[in-house]
Every structure is written in structure tokens, then in C-alpha cells.
Amino acid sequence: MNVAVVGTGYVGLVMGAGLAEMGNTVVCADVDARKIARLRANDVPIFEPGLEPLVVRNQAEGRLSFTTDVGAAVERSDVVFIAVGTPPDEDGSADLSHVLSVADTIGRHLDRPKVVVTKSTVPVGTAAKVRAAVAANARAAFSVASNPEFLKEGAAVQDFMKPDRIVLGVDGPEAEATLRELYEPFVRSGNPLLFMDVASAEVTKYAANAMLAARITLMNQFAALCEQVGANVEQVRRGIGSDARIGKAFLFPGPGYGGSCFPKDVKALCATGRAVGAPLEVLESVDRANEAQKRVPVAKLRRALGSLAGKTVAIWGLAFKAQTDDMREAAALVAVEELLAEGAVLRVHDPKAMEEARRRFGGRVTCVEHRYDALTGADALLVLTEWQEYRVLDFALAKRLMKRPLVVDARNLYEPARLREHGFTYDSIGRP
């Protein structure tokens, strides 16, 4: 099948490469000429495990191509996916300007029947707006569908190639038949293709992310309670995670959720609820509590060190989670700005996010290439991302390099008893 994907961010690029891997002919279009030039040269601008080999292989075999000519991509395709960004407006609602601009371009180049699919995360009612924008100039019949993505950064390729379900909101049998043909190769093991009306598909995406964000936030609040009453949140996590009705996923406390999805989607869903007179009070609280949680690690440093002015703080982890270089809405952004505002000196490390850190922070922090270089002369180590390479701490080396052996671990990577045995002052999230 001939497919166009408009937008080459995380979603669009993973999707385009994945569809090409299954034998489709895919053109990924983007107005960013520099990004397209890099992709044509097999220089993938984002770090996502397994993505670069897919791009290289499918481009070499002629199934995947990249262009800045969105109109031409539309004309040559049977299915057009809209996968551009939907950043939050000031009130938290999703900014649909990019989505509707693409829809307008699709309409001006739609000269034969096609299926137009919103892949971007969009609020309920967006499909109707896309339909109107396409119809204003279309010269042929078309269908509009919603196909929300459920990709986890750091595991996006695996999630796309072996999905646990595919949600498809369609407006008629033609769209259903086309999308069934496109997606059936991905669910040979029996995982479901869930066809539904378009509005339900739009809500499903936001509801899924909101549920997960709420679980993370509730665990962080349980952790705060545990600290006050002398309980251990790790034991609580195992106790409740063993309940089949609850399950084990998304029960790890930490410095608050971040990234491109959860913060934006919770805010957008809350804005939709307010707009239609169905306020989502639980999610409003989740949003506020998560923002507060991002300030907890620095508060722990402040309690341990007193004034932070002139103190050297080493930070391990800048990306919002491991296995990505994405720093959007990361807890590290809040921590760095708070520490700098209080006069601390920062030495930072992340396995993949250093280029982004230099872009965001400039010369205000010292970026180091090896994690232990960050510890030189440090009054404290702050761990913010759960990278595998951070999970084993060389106690002797760390004590030799640091000015004082203080660790604030916002990811609960280390065992408190072992840190104490080696002479460290140690604080984590929700543990004695």
C-alpha cells in the first residue's frame, strides 16, 4: 500500500519506518528541510533504540523515502497519516494549528479517494475539523479516521511492530477495510484491532495516558505518606502490585512524570472537560501534584545541605526517562533551574541527552562525558533518570571524588542499607 506520513517526529518516523518494514511504500514528509536532509543521509535526529536500522534498511531497499513536498506525498498515497505536533496552548488545550494546516494541504492535493488518518494526539472533535479543512478544497471523496498512538519512548519500535492493541476510529466501511488491510500484518499473534467510532478513539488515547499518569502520581503521594509514617514504598508497591486487579506496571515512585505525552495530554483532557462542562477534578489534582513532585528532589538536597549557594551538585540523568534523549517536561529541567537560582554549581551527565542539555543550558552547567567526572568536588549526587549504567555505584571511587558523600536518589536505584554501610548519607523517594 502507498502511504504518506506527514511529520517526522517520534510518532511519524517510527510509524513510517515500521510500515515500510512490513512491505508498504512509505513517504515521510516534513517542512523542516534540514531534518529531511539528515534523514535522507540516514542521520536519525532522535535517539530511539532500533529505529536507525529500520530507517537505513528500508531506505536502501526503496520502501521508505523522505520529502519536503507534502503535496506530492499526498498525491502518490492511498492513506495519509497526520503525525505533526499538538503543543499545549496557554490554557492547556491542544494547539491544532499544525494538524489543520496539514489537512488544508491534503485537501488541495486530494484528487482521488483516500483515507486521511489523524495519528497525532488530538482532542475529541478534531476529526470533524480535519474533515472540514480537507473538504474545503478536495476534488474527490475521502474518509477521515483516528488512529491514536500508544508508543513508549525508549520502546517505540517494539510497541509499533508488536502492539498489544491497535485502536481505529472510522467513519465508514471503506476506511475500516483499508486500515484493516494495512494493520493486519502487525497483529498475526491475535492482539486486537479495535474498530470504533472516531470520537471514542480520540477519547481513548487521552484516557489511557491520563490513567497511567494518575497511577504514577498516586504512587508518588503514597511515597510521601510512607516517609512521614516510617513505611517503605517499595514494599507497598510489591504488596499492591500483586493484586491482579491493579497489576505491577507504572507503580514506581520518582521525580514526577515528564515527556511529550503525559503532561500535555493530562492538561489537554482537563481543558476539554472544562470546555464541555464535565470537569475532570481528579486529573486536575494529578496535574498539580505532578508539578509539585518535580520539586521534591531539590527540597531533599536543601534539607541535607542547608543553603545551596556555592554548593557543587552532580546530576546523573537529564532525559525524562531512560532509553531516550528527550528532555521535554523532564524533572531535570525543574531541578536545574531551581539549583541555579539558588547559586549552586552544576556538573551534569546523561548517556544520550548531552547535546540537548547543551542546547538548553548553554554554559550555565558543566556537561561531562563520563558519569564519574560529574562527581569531582561534588557536595551531593542527585540521580534523576533510571539509566542502567547508573544502577551500580562504585562506592570507593564516588567517595574519593566527592567533597561529601551525599546521594539523593529520585529513582530508588540503590539499597539504603548498602549506601549507609559505605558511609554515604542517602535519601530516596518513600523509603526510610
Which residues are annotated as catalytic?
Answer: 261
Instruction: Note whether 312 and 403 are within 8 A (CB).
Output: yes
Give the C-alpha distances (Å, rounded to integers) separating 282 from 38, 124, 218, 279, 296: 43, 19, 11, 9, 21
Identify whether the C-beta of residue 349 lies closer than 8 Å to the C-beta of residue 381: no
Q: Measuring CA to CA, how many Å separate 331 from each of 47, 192, 215? A: 19, 35, 17
DSSP output for 163-203? -S-EEEE-SSHHHHHHHHHHHGGGGTTS--EEEE-HHHHHH
Q: Would you give the distance in Å from CA 155 to the centre of its chain?
A: 10
Pick from 340, 262, 264, 336: nearest CA to 295? 336
Cα–Cα distance measured from residue 415 to residue 28, given in angstroms and rounded to the nearest whole number:
46
